[in-house]
Chain A
Amino acid sequence: MALGGILTVAANLIWLERRLLALWQDRYGPNRVGPFGLFQTIADAIKMFLKEDWIPPFADKAVFVLAPCIINATALLSFAVIPFAPGVQVMDLGAGLLFLLAMSSLGVYSVTLAGWASNNKYALLGGLRASAQMLSYEVYMSLSLMGVVLMAGSLNLSEIVKAQEGMWFCIPQCVGMALFFIAGIAETHRLPFDLPEAEAELVAGFHSEYSSMKFGMFFIGEYIGITLISALTALLYFGGWSGPLFGLSENLAPFVQFGWFALKTFILIGFFILLRASMPRPRYDQLIEFGWKAMLPLSLLNLLVTGAVVLALE
């Protein structure tokens, strides 16, 4: 059920993104298919299924087919440890956060292998960029999270949410949050960090050679990634499911808590889309330089200060 729910949300994010982008550009976006254009995703999916599923003769076939599966598998697996409400999760891992980071790191294989297997210059360039970008942003993505881990004293996501009952971590860890969110954008290679698929220079980057539903899987994988990073930010910095319960009984409480979690996640997804609407794409060397020279020292500093404060308070 969780799987189906996430896939539906990810698919409808395509509609949401187009509507929100249109809103911020003073347009309407897709509003013809169904109420408010809600069935646009279904129409797109039907179109995509009916397209020719073409594998170029020069491609490495096995890897070419495998690549889009990886991004979906890793992104969906990451959701296994996300607690949607207290106790509502697929598995309650003690080191849930580590599992998440491991899974999102595996996602880089998808993009790199896709670029490699396509046997195409642009795709290869896109894949190379993706691997370099994701590796360098991975480093401080996990480092920026360590501040939260230090404060909560646990790698378990439910424990981290429970530790935020007094105050959401977005206040003491505001630097860490900004760092994590920026790393998250780079990790899902969304605008303004969508260098791997920069359509102005690389045609479509790593998925230039993909068509039909294989392209669709990259597309969906990207949106699952956005949902994942948003859900993670909500969990780690905005108190996850915590919020006013309006004095509801024990049985109804999880629904309201899930509602709070979903609301926070969707606001963050909206912010992802707002960034796409407002930011230009940096040059590639600027991106890598920013990662290593600005973000990495900042995250180390954040970790150092957090550690010192936690020690001093003990």
Chain B
Amino acid sequence: MLSILRSIWLVFLHAFARRETIQYPDEMPYSPPRWRGRIILSRDPDGEERCVACNLCAVACPVACISLQATEDESGRRYPDFFRINFSRCIFCGYCEEACPTYAIQLTTDFEMGEFKRTNLVYEKEDLLISGSGKYPGYNFYRQAGLAIGGKGKGEADCEEPPIDVHSLMP
């Protein structure tokens, strides 16, 4: 009997407790920085696409929602001809981000992706590319990699020594 009255009283006291609800459209919920939300393609600090169209993200994707076609510009940089993510299939596992060798593909904190038409969930490269460098500022794949492209020869990358001519190393 007393326990019943006690529980009624305790429930009544909840009238003065803080409400747990977040009034979502008016008030945004906090999403942690590592939240796995909408996928974007980032650019390097010079404003060029980071993606080198290596296809690793497409291979890592468990639901095969990424498709792309590699091509090359006149300076020898690889980039995707088209890059398509079907978000109606995407499970936001983040494997693509882990697989990416150039920090190009990244998951963001945005989750508001509701659409009325299913086809609107297929994002093309121009929908995915953002203007900035995302979570990794200052990283430029072609400035780190040993690969020679137009305007940067062998041994001219950061932290790289000029190549050694083996014929000059004769004892």
Interface positions of A (Cβ within 8 A of B): 23-28, 274-275, 277-279
Contacts and interface: CB of A to CB of B under 8 A. Distances in A.
Contact of A278 (B8, B19, B21): B8
A24 B14 contact: yes
B11 A26 contact: no
Given A278-B7, A279-B4, A279-B8, A24 B21 contact: no
Interface of B: 4, 7-8, 10-12, 14-15, 17-21, 23
A25 B15 CA distance: 8
A28 B8 contact: no
B48 to A, nearest CB: 46
A127 B79 CA distance: 71
Contacts of B19: 23, 26-28
Contact of B21 (A28, A274, A279): A28
B20 A277 contact: no
B8 A26 contact: no
A93 to B, nearest CB: 35
A26 B23 contact: no
A279 B12 CA distance: 12
A33 to B, nearest CB: 14
Closest 4 CB pairs between A and B? Answer: A278-B11, A278-B8, A24-B14, A26-B20
A100 to B, nearest CB: 27
B12 A24 contact: yes
A28 B7 CA distance: 21
A26 B4 CA distance: 20
Helix, strand, loop or mixed for chain A's interface?
A: helix
B5 to A, nearest CB: 10
Contacts of B11: 24, 274, 277-278
Contacts of A27: 19-21
A7 to B, nearest CB: 28
A68 B169 CA distance: 102
A26 B18 contact: yes
A275 B17 CA distance: 18
Contacts of B15: 23-24
A26 B7 contact: no
A205 to B, nearest CB: 24
B12 A26 contact: no
A181 to B, nearest CB: 12
Contact of A274 (B8, B17, B18, B23): B8
B72 to A, nearest CB: 54
Contacts of A28: 19, 21, 23
Contacts of B17: 26
A275 B11 CA distance: 9
B21 to A, nearest CB: 5
A23 B14 contact: yes
Contacts of A25: 14
A24 B19 CA distance: 9
Contacts of B7: 278-279
Nearest to A276: B11
A274 B7 CA distance: 10
Given A26-B19, A27-B21, A28-B19, A275 B8 contact: yes
Nearest to B19: A26
A23 B11 CA distance: 10
5 contacts: A24-B12, A28-B23, A278-B11, A279-B4, A279-B8
Given A26-B19, A28-B19, A279-B4, A274 B14 contact: no
A7 B11 CA distance: 29
Contacts of A24: 11-12, 14-15
A278 B9 CA distance: 9
A274 B23 CA distance: 24
Nearest to B10: A278
A207 B7 CA distance: 30
